[in-house]
Chain A
Amino acid sequence: MQNLVSHEDWKSCFSEVAPGLLLFARQWVQSAADAEDVVQEAFVKFWRRNHKIENRALLYAAVRSIALDFIRRDSRRARREATAVGDTDDFIEPQFEFEDDTQRALAEAIDFLPCEQREVLVMKIWNELTFAEIAGALGISQNTAASRYRYALAALRNTLQLQ
């Protein structure tokens, strides 16, 4: 087990987890810049507490907690962002790197998932957390995490079949 504090090249650790963490944080904040603020605060806090990098559930819990505090701190801004989500004409920075239209459609479908399904999906697919780790980070049971994951996959399948 490796502690972040003893890891001289923390950048390699961060490079590995950062894309998934940013994607996770983007559920609550609309801009990439805000997501980076949240991830920075969480990662530095995690590093300060000398947690093991393998304990990713705690890292995700920290991101979630800080993101929720972030939107609470500035409720007016959160309302503005919520309005922006409803307005499809507004430009929202992409959260994925697309290679073709199929991937673009899939990424757009992810945005329409309910928040509780999306967060499980993000943690499972792009961060490879186990259901036990997801359950720990979100404060839910493993069965709930697994069922939310399956619902998310089914919703995406249905959306793509309709297109």
Chain B
Amino acid sequence: MNDLSQIEKELRKLRPARPSPILFERIEEAMIDCRAGASPARQPERLRYNWLSLGFGLAAAAVLVLFAAVKMERQESGKEIAQTSREPEAAPLLNRAQKSTSTDKFVPAGATRLVYNTRDEGLQFAGSSGQPLRRMRYQTHETWQWRNPTTGASLRVSYPSEEVVLIPVSGQ
């Protein structure tokens, strides 16, 4: 076997193993089920990794909501002090409350999304459309950061994330 065409010739002589007769019966049954409106075969658990990403996303959102709630509560308590203090000696207290409110202010300082792995998982069909879709899986690490300009304190939330993106492709 000196050249590639000879190898090709030998390969073509090899015959792949035949499918079992049971496979034909199984497919026939699946097609009948399909006609009757039932699912033809097990559906893959495509959402498993998406749920993981969703979980991380929700956790991050919960942290943000909590942070916002604490901030609003502090602002409200500062206003109450300002409204009830009518005496002249309350002025330093009001100033202190206003100062306290301003020091509680965190401003967004940055957000990064590091994609450390991208995987092309080939073509697939999704939903009821017959159009092929390219399935790309991105593994990322997201970081959100806030900073208090007065005190210099900072808050940072980091979490891993995995995203599956289906990109429509034109037919051959």
Contacts and interface: CB of A to CB of B under 8 A. Distances in A.
Interface of A: 10-11, 14, 18-20, 22-23, 32, 36, 39-41, 43-45, 47-51, 55, 57-58, 61-62, 64-66, 68-70, 73, 93-99, 102-103, 106-107, 121, 125-126, 132-133, 136-139, 150, 153-154, 156-157, 160-161
A70 B121 CA distance: 13
8 contacts: A10-B31, A14-B24, A14-B27, A19-B18, A41-B42, A55-B172, A61-B123, A69-B46
A96 B1 contact: no
A61 B122 contact: yes
B58 interface: no
A137 B16 contact: no
Nearest to B121: A68
A49 B125 contact: yes
Interface size class on chain B is: 35 or more
A45 B16 contact: no
- Taking chain B's interface residues, is the majority helix, strand, or loop, or is none over half, making it mixed? mixed
A48 B40 contact: yes
B120 interface: yes
B45 interface: yes
B135 interface: yes
B44 A157 contact: no
B91 interface: no
A139 B134 contact: yes
Given A55-B172, A73-B45, A97 B40 contact: no
Contacts of A133: 172
Interface in B1-53: 1-4, 6-8, 10-20, 23-24, 26-28, 30-31, 34, 40-42, 44-46
Nearest to B14: A96
A132 B6 CA distance: 23
B121 A65 contact: yes
Contact of B19 (A22, A96, A98, A157): A22
A68 B123 CA distance: 11
